[in-house]
Amino acid sequence: MFAATEKALEAEISRLKLALKTSQGEDKSQDIYVGNYLLARLEELGVTSMFGVPGDFNLGFLDLVEDHPTIDWVGNCNELNASYAADGYARVKHGSVGALLTTSNVILASFGVGELSAMNGMAGAFSEMVPMVHIAGVPSVRQHTTKPMLHHTLGDGRYDAYTKAAEQFTIAQAILTDAYSAGAEIDRVLSDCVVKGRPVYITLPTDLAYAKTPSDRLKVPLIRVPPPNEAETEAFVIDEIVHLVVEAKGDVVVLVDACTIRHDAVDEVHDLLYKTGYPVYCAPMGKTAVDETYERYGGIYVGSISRPEVKEKVESAKLILSIGGLKSDFNSGNFTYSIPISRTVELHSHWTKIRYADYPDIGMKQLIPKLTAKLEGGKARALQIEVPPFVAHIPEEQDDVITHAWFWPSLSKFFRPKDIIVAETGTSSFGILDVPLPKDSIFLAQILWGSIGWTGGSTLGAALAAKDRNMNRTILFIGDGSLQLSVQELSTMLRKGLKPIIFVLNNSGYTIERYLHGKERKYNDIMNWKWTGLLSVLGDLEGNLSKSYTVSTKNELSELLQSKTFAESNVMQLVEVIMPKFDAPRALQVQAELSGKTNKYAL
């Protein structure tokens, strides 16, 4: 039996056992606190760090967290940064979830405040399919009923305005109100979170955190995979795809995108690729889903923004096997895919599309191994199809100015296997697209949601998850404008003893916006900061937790990148890279031009 199918069947058994426990009532002899039940399930999901800000309504629960043997309370500078950190954690720690704890931030009977500050982070995780659990400490069940005008409330007796807002950006909500149903409710939303790969929301009243609930359910593992594909439909779908491959005479190109990573199909896709030999390309959000040093990998396909040889190869293939696709503007070169539906097969987390036909509930994780078994015979034919090499081209430039054209490819030799490479939306996420990253590295960027400042928080979560997974370094690229949004979280990285390398691209403002509109406008300027003094102010008071550098020339940067002390430093490092105000990476320049056509800013 295929492993993925076996897992799906095992999960079905759990599903039935849990349903039975819910309906039959449970053994009361081993009751535990609802708060501890929740922590036990999070531990089961592999959560080792919880992000958030302490506040009136989570203080009691926080005692349980602080006393938990394997879950560490991180404690962020603010809630938005905390939500970004939980997002970054979940992206690196596949199969686990990001855990975020908020409430209001001051004394007594209050709530709403902290939750709302985190909302942008929740919405980003929702749109980019990141599994995240948002636990909101709320007033005691009794206070919910009497509804006094507490601080942090809207003052009009509405206690559900926040929940209504949260419903917009989460796929499941558990509004816990009694200890009896708490376990089943927690299980329901945590399973949804992992299986569907999107944020969920739990409200935990102060009194309920310490109410007793049966621990019996914990003996049945949480459901972590979708139900099995219906066998007959699945067999039909596989036949249809094989038929198209035969018709295409094996001229197949695989295009891998974000949901492959998010829905845990990376191993299945790798197996498909190695056994079939099909040429493979990634969309920007799928970058590093495929080993970028693999000889059959041709780099990033992003519609008309692609390098010309990639565009030609992908668009001329007779059949495109698109896996985990997420066609947003930035992920598709502003919707410039030139691939007709008649030549496309789309494999998704829980549906399949073959040309014009939809097959609901046929998910890729179980489908791909069976498909691979049918297709591996064609490998010899597939290997004849040429794949353009994906290599970094460092241009010869006469002057010593650090341009984007030179900067990004120059970094390629600096990266190492198992590095986590985080790129802020905009200049950085566009700049790094054309740079091949090492085997087993992980690339993080928030390309669809694109909230500036996201990496300032998510790098913290990514670096913590990297430790769990025994990864190498965490390296962040961020512009000066973006870092100003979430800068305080560098302090938390210092406090947690993390050692990320942070490249701050100092180009005096919002460069990505200058390319769009208002090139010389004051509104795109920002205050210039003393970046090299930042880490000492934010907590490295003795100067032994970090090092900071400024590089203004190609030579200075090259020397730094070649220095072993720098590459293998045992402290956090910040590098301010001075770059020209009006320069930008190639891909961004093309994107901005396309964008300008869509968006009329003036007459």
Active site residue 152: yes
Pattern 161-180, a second copy, x by CB under 8 A: xx-xx--xx-----------
DSSP 489-555: HHHHHHHTT---EEEEEE-SS-HHHHHHS-TT-GGG--PPP-HHHHHHHTT-TTS-SEEEEEE-BHH
Q: Which of 48, 49, 96, 110 binds a second copy (CB under 8 A)?
A: 110
Active site residue 79: yes
Least distance between a second copy and beta carbon 55 (Å): 7
Answer yes or no whether residue 588 interacts with a second copy by CB under 8 A: yes
- Position 177, amino acid: T
> In angstroms, what is the C-alpha Rg of the chain?
25
Answer yes or no whether residue 141 interacts with a second copy by CB under 8 A: no
Q: Which is nearer to a second copy, 164 or 564 (CB)?
A: 164
Question: Which of the ranges 216-224, 245-253, 271-279, 329-337 carries the binding residues for a second copy, by CB under 8 A?
Answer: 329-337
- Annotated ligand binding at 480? The verdict is yes
Least distance between a second copy and beta carbon 213 (Å): 14
Least distance between a second copy and beta carbon 416 (Å): 29
- Position 391, amino acid: V
Q: How distant is the alpha carbon of residue 302 from its chain centre?
A: 19
* Listed residue (434, 457, 435) closest to 446, CA to CA: 457
Active site residue 517: no
Least distance between a second copy and beta carbon 123 (Å): 5
CB 427 within 8 A of CB 588: yes
Strand residue runs (E) in 41-87: 49-52, 72-73
Answer yes or no whether residue 140 interacts with a second copy by CB under 8 A: yes
Q: How many other C-beta atoms can be found within 10 angstroms of the C-beta atom of residue 537?
A: 11
Active site residue 183: no
Task: Tell me the sheet residues that pair with 297.
Answer: 280
Answer yes or no whether residue 341 interacts with a second copy by CB under 8 A: no
Least distance between a second copy and beta carbon 364 (Å): 18
CB 359 within 8 A of CB 233: yes
Interface positions, 468-487, toward a second copy (CB under 8 A): 484-487
DSSP 234-269: HHHHHHHHHHHHHHTTT-EEEEE-HHHHHTT-HHHH
Answer yes or no whether residue 143 interacts with a second copy by CB under 8 A: yes
Question: Which of the ranges 152-160, 185-193, 376-384, 574-582 carries the binding residues for a second copy, by CB under 8 A?
Answer: 152-160
Angle 466-83-487 (CA atoms, 0-180°, nearest 5)? Answer: 80
Question: Which of the ranges 74-82, 86-94, 301-309, 362-370 carries the binding residues for a second copy, by CB under 8 A?
Answer: 74-82
Least distance between a second copy and beta carbon 129 (Å): 8
Q: Which is nearer to a second copy, 16 or 537 (CB)?
A: 537
Q: Which of 491, 507, 546, 573 binds a second copy (CB under 8 A)?
A: 491
Q: What single-letter DSSP state applies at residue 306? A: S
- Annotated ligand binding at 291? The verdict is no
Active site residue 450: yes
Answer yes or no whether residue 31 interacts with a second copy by CB under 8 A: no
* Token pair listed for 73: 């309370």
Active site residue 461: no
Three-state DSSP at 475 gives strand
Pattern 535-564, a second copy, x by CB under 8 A: -xxxx-x-----------------------
480: Cβ–Cβ under 8 A, 6 or more apart, which residues? 504, 505, 506, 507, 508, 509, 526, 528, 529, 531
Answer yes or no whether residue 154 interacts with a second copy by CB under 8 A: yes
Interface positions, 386-445, toward a second copy (CB under 8 A): 425-426
Answer yes or no whether residue 488 interacts with a second copy by CB under 8 A: yes
Q: How many other C-beta atoms can be found within 10 angstroms of the C-beta atom of residue 515?
A: 23
Active site residue 56: yes
Answer yes or no whether residue 523 interacts with a second copy by CB under 8 A: yes
Q: Which is nearer to a second copy, 375 or 433 (CB)?
A: 433
CB 128 within 8 A of CB 83: no
- Annotated ligand binding at 544? The verdict is no
> Which residues are catalytically annotated?
56, 79, 151-152, 450, 480, 507, 509, 513
